[in-house]
Amino acid sequence: MPIVGFGFDKINIEKKEQFTKEDKINNNIRVESLKEFKIKTSDKEESDAILMTFEFGLDYGKAGNLELKGHIIFYDNEEKVKELLVSWTKNKKLPPDFGTYIFNFIMLKSNVKALELEEEVGLPLHLKLPRFKIKA
């Protein structure tokens, strides 16, 4: 299942107040759309692909929020592309195997960007990073 394109289209982070122990960090991932997309596979040939848009968000309560919107270009054989588009058109859901693959990819890219942005504006990191401890 090859992803041949990825990018962020909107990056928004805002720190409103100091983060307190009462504040919780909530996250949200959502695939917004799947559309047919033509991709050039040679000088004379175009193939079907999928342009998918997504949203990744973190809510820090009163302390602030982070919003990332982006796109993924997915390319596979014509049958797979059509199957995914038909499935999405019917019920706005992704097949479990494809959905797992896509959501893991979105989380990987978005979590890395979110960590960088959180550090820049002074919001707490939404993921616990490993730490070394001294043995007693």
Helices within 71-126 (DSSP H only): 78-91, 96-121
Q: Are strands 26-40 and 3-15 parallel, antiparallel or unpaired?
A: unpaired
Q: Is 130 helix (H, G, I), strand (E, B) or coil?
A: coil
Query: Considering its fold, how many domains does the chain have in total?
Result: 1
Query: From CA 52, how far away is CA 49, in angstroms rounded?
Result: 10
Range of the domain at 102: 3-121
The verdict on pTM exceeding 0.75 is: yes
User: Per the domain annotation, does 60 fall within a domain?
Assistant: yes
pLDDT category at 3 given cuts 50, 70, 90 is very high
Question: Chain-centre distance of CA 35, in angstroms?
Answer: 17
- pLDDT value, residue 136: 81
Between residues 72 and 23, the one the model is more confident about: 72
- pLDDT value, residue 1: 57
74-132 pLDDT, tens digit per residue, is 998 889 999 999 999 999 999 999 999 999 999 999 999 999 999 999 999 999 888 89
User: Per the domain annotation, does 126 fall within a domain?
Assistant: no
4-44 pLDDT, tens digit per residue, is 999 999 999 999 999 998 889 999 999 999 999 988 877 77
User: Per the domain annotation, does 21 fall within a domain?
Assistant: yes
Is it the case that residue 70 has pLDDT exceeding 60?
Answer: yes
- pLDDT value, residue 44: 77
Are 106 and 56 contacting, i.e. CB atoms less than 8 angstroms apart?
Answer: yes
User: Per the domain annotation, does 128 fall within a domain?
Assistant: no
